[in-house]
Structure 1
Amino acid sequence: MLTILDRYILKRYLATFMAMLLMFIPIGIIIDVSEKINKMIENKVPFMDVVVYYGNFTIYFANALFPIFLFLSIIWFTSKLANNTEIIAILSSGISFTRFLRPFIIGATIVSIGVLLMGFYVVPKASEGFNNFRYMYLRSGGREQMVGDNTDVYRQLNNKEFLYVSNFNSSSKMAFNFVLEKFDKEKMVSKITASRIKWNEKDSTYTLYDYTKRTVGELGDKIEVLPEKNLKFKFELEDLTPVVYIAETLRVGELIDFIDKERKRGSSNIKVYSVVLYKKFSVPVSAFILTVIAVAVSSMKRRGGMGMNLTIGIAVAFSFVFFDKIFGVLAEKSTFPPMLAVWFSNIVFGILAVYLLRNAKR
């Protein structure tokens, strides 16, 4: 059962965290608008698309920088408790430091559950909208040119079939410069090409524009040419999506299935997808580690006051994010195990949390 002290600390914990989010997110939006306003005007972006984009941006931005916001908010209000000698009064009343830490752990549990559920269900949708907007309006000349230079998608669907598209538009569910090749014992059996391929959600078919099918025969090739044709394929819509952000747009169940499917195909991008999956679980755990570190660092009354605690807090928070980003990229680009890379920051800072907690108890 929560005591008055528990409710007081828990309320301050959650209120300060929310205040930190509400303070920094508008700053992030203002900076983003200042950087992109010229592109938006140039490409005549509809106002509602901008509104939706910044809704998605808010979720995406808050999720990416959540460790920094959480850590600084705890440093802030715990330092105020220490400067007002409230912590000395609490511990002098016979309450142990471990007992004093309990409402902080409860707050970390609430935050981590929220972050976990957001990462499973809300962030993927926001990430899709965020990336779609950038690729449609900001990275190229507008709606007609999609992603730029890195959009080519190559897929080995199975042992016999290979797929290629030059780029993909998630909003219109359309891909361009489509090629599907089928082989039998290293010999081409058929090749289908189209300038565009569009997904039809109603009947789960694809419409191919400027359709051409070449069937290789022993005596001669058979060629079929049509301006437009509807077909059903065994591959899924996600197979047309570029690697750049596909993993970020899938919910946890979909992502696990997608990774399993890509592993069976022998995809070279398994590490990229695995990093995204493991981070869905490692980021919520970091709430507990950062909470313990923040309380241990800021519960002592220092000569430099709150400013000294904030300086230490900012250094630790950015070090955590730095390690997290560096080892994430290392896992994607090298032979470093993705799971170890994703959890490395939690392991290192978890050890630091234990060390600081022991010193704080003294």
Structure 2
Amino acid sequence: MLTIIDKYILKRYLATFSVMLLLFIPIGIIIDVSEKINKMIEHKVPLKEVVSYYIDFIVYFANILFPIFLFLSIIWFTSKLANNTEIIAILSSGISFTRFLRPYIIGATFVSLVSLLMGFFLVPKASEGFKNFRYTYLIGNGQAEMRQLSDVFRQISDDEFIYVSNFNSISKTAFNFSLEKFKGDKLDYKITANRIKWNPKDKTYTLFGYTKRTVGKLDDFIEQADQKVKKFNFELDDLTPTVYVAETLSLFDLIKFIDREKSRGNANINVYLTVLYKKYSVPVSAFILTIIAVAVSSMKRRGGMGLNLAIGILLSFSFVFFEKIFGVMAESSTMPPIVAVWIPNIVFGSLAIYLLRNAKR
């Protein structure tokens, strides 16, 4: 059962965090508008699209800066409690420091659950709208830049592999196509074409410069044609997903997508796994940052609230920096994505334990 002190601290926790979001999000929108207004006017973006973009922007922006907002809000109101000697009064009444932390942990649990559910379902939808708008109206060649268009290699079944050197998503045409079919560990046949075009009406492919080489026991059989129409069990458009597709999928769709791309031998699988693991690691960071913030700001200092805020800003940006660095390492190095994603939480979790012990003393 919550006491009056619990309710008081919990109310300040949630209210300060909400106010911090409401203060900084409009600032983010104003900065974004000032940077992009010229391109929006140049491309004559409809007002409805702009409004929809900024609704998605709010969710996307809040999700990215969630650790900073949470950390600074706790530093702010806890420092005020310390400067007003309210914390001294609470601890002097016989309440232990661990018991004093309880409303903070309850608040962190609530924020974590909201962040977890948003990351599973709401943020992916907002990310899709946000990214689509940027690529369609604001970035270089628009839709073409969304896709992995060169050197596409996929495993489309247990024993079939395809490769194209370049893909045009508008004309649904790929170049330097090859398909290899295996029986066990031996090549059964190989199909090559200078160019392959997807025909959406009858779901077939037209292969130009077609060659099929079937491996025989003594001799190989070669079939050639200037142009040949065939059916395959894949669509070229599906084999070249958008570069940010993992960010736009809800939890269950993302898990299915990762399983499918693993079977296809997608070279970007670490990128998708990083997105999946972050859905779990970011909510956990709410507890770690809450403990660090309370430990740092619960003592009354000579520098007052300003010193606590300076320490808070340094630590919060350090956390975001660590998260970004190890996120890149998870996507592009040999380090397992799950290890890279969780290292910031492990490092700052250890720091939280150390600071908490000192605060108790």
Normalised by the length of structure 1, the TM-score is 0.85
Secondary structure (helix, strand or coil) at the match of 2:180 reads: strand
Give 1:166's aligned amino acid: F
1:320-344 C-alpha deviation (Å, 9 max, x unpaired): 0111111111122211221111111
**Counterpart in the other structure of 2:122:** 122
TM superposition shift of 1:212: 5.0
Q: Which residue of 2 aligns with 1:108?
A: 108
Provide the rounded CA distance (Å) in 2 between the counterparts of 1:347 and 1:265: 33
Question: By how many angstroms is 1:291 displaced?
Answer: 0.2
TM-aligned CA distance change 1:152 to 1:251, over 3 Å: farther
1:258 positional shift: 2.0
What is residue 173 of structure 2 aligned with on the other side? 177
* Structure 1 gap segments, 5+ residues each: 169-173
Are residues 1:356 and 2:359 paired? Answer: no
Q: Relative to structure 1, is the Cα distance of residues 294 and 304 closer, same or farther in structure 2, using a 3 angstrom cutoff?
A: same
Residue 325 of structure 1 is matched in structure 2 by: 324
Task: Report the CA distance between 1:181 and its aligned residue.
Answer: 4.2
> What does residue 309 of structure 1 align with?
308
Partner of 1:171: none
Equivalence for 1:92 = 92
1:149: Cα distance to partner?
Answer: 9.1
Q: What one-letter code is carried by the residue in structure 2 that aligns with 1:307? A: G
Q: Which has the larger radius of gyration?
A: 2
Mapped contact 1:330–1:341 kept (Cα < 8 A): yes
The 5-angstrom pairing of residues 278-289 of structure 1 reads 278-289=277-288
Q: 1:221 aligns with which of 204, 220, 224?
A: 224
User: Residues 64 and 326 from structure 1, CA distance in 2 versus in 1: closer, same or farther, beyond 3 angstroms?
Assistant: same
Q: Distance in 2 between matches of 1:187 and 1:207?
A: 20
The amino acid across from 2:145 in the alignment is V
Tell me the distance in 1 between the aligned counterparts of 2:336 and 2:126.
28
Distance 1:141 1:37, change over 3 A: farther
Partner of 1:36: 36
Q: Which SS does the other structure have where 2:301 is aligned?
A: coil
How far apart are residue 294 of structure 1 and its match? 0.3
**Pairs within 5 Å for 1:1-362:** 1-140=1-140, 146-147=144-145, 151-152=149-150, 154-156=152-154, 157-158=156-157, 159-162=159-162, 164=164, 166=167, 168=169, 176-178=172-174, 181-184=178-181, 185=187, 187-189=189-191, 191=193, 193-194=196-197, 212=207, 214=210, 216=212, 221-222=224-225, 233-235=233-235, 238-242=238-242, 244-362=243-361
Deviates more, 1:116-125 or 1:247-256: 247-256
Over 3 Å counting, the alpha-carbon distance change for 1:120 and 1:45 in structure 2 is same
1:87/1:237 CA distance change after superposition, 3 Å: farther
Unmatched 5+ stretches in structure 2: 182-186, 214-220
Shift of 1:30: 1.1
Alpha-carbon distance in 2 for matches of 1:234, 1:325: 35
Amino acid in the other structure paired with 1:264: S
* Post-superposition offset of 1:317: 0.2
Deviation track 1:101-140 (CA, whole Å, cap 9, x = no partner) reads: 0000000000000101111111111111111111111112
Q: What fraction of aligned residue pairs are identical, expressed as a percent?
A: 61
CA shift at 1:348, angstroms? 0.7
Q: Matched residues in 2 for 1:309 and 1:149: separation?
A: 45
Aligned equivalents of 1:114, 1:148: Cα separation in 2: 30
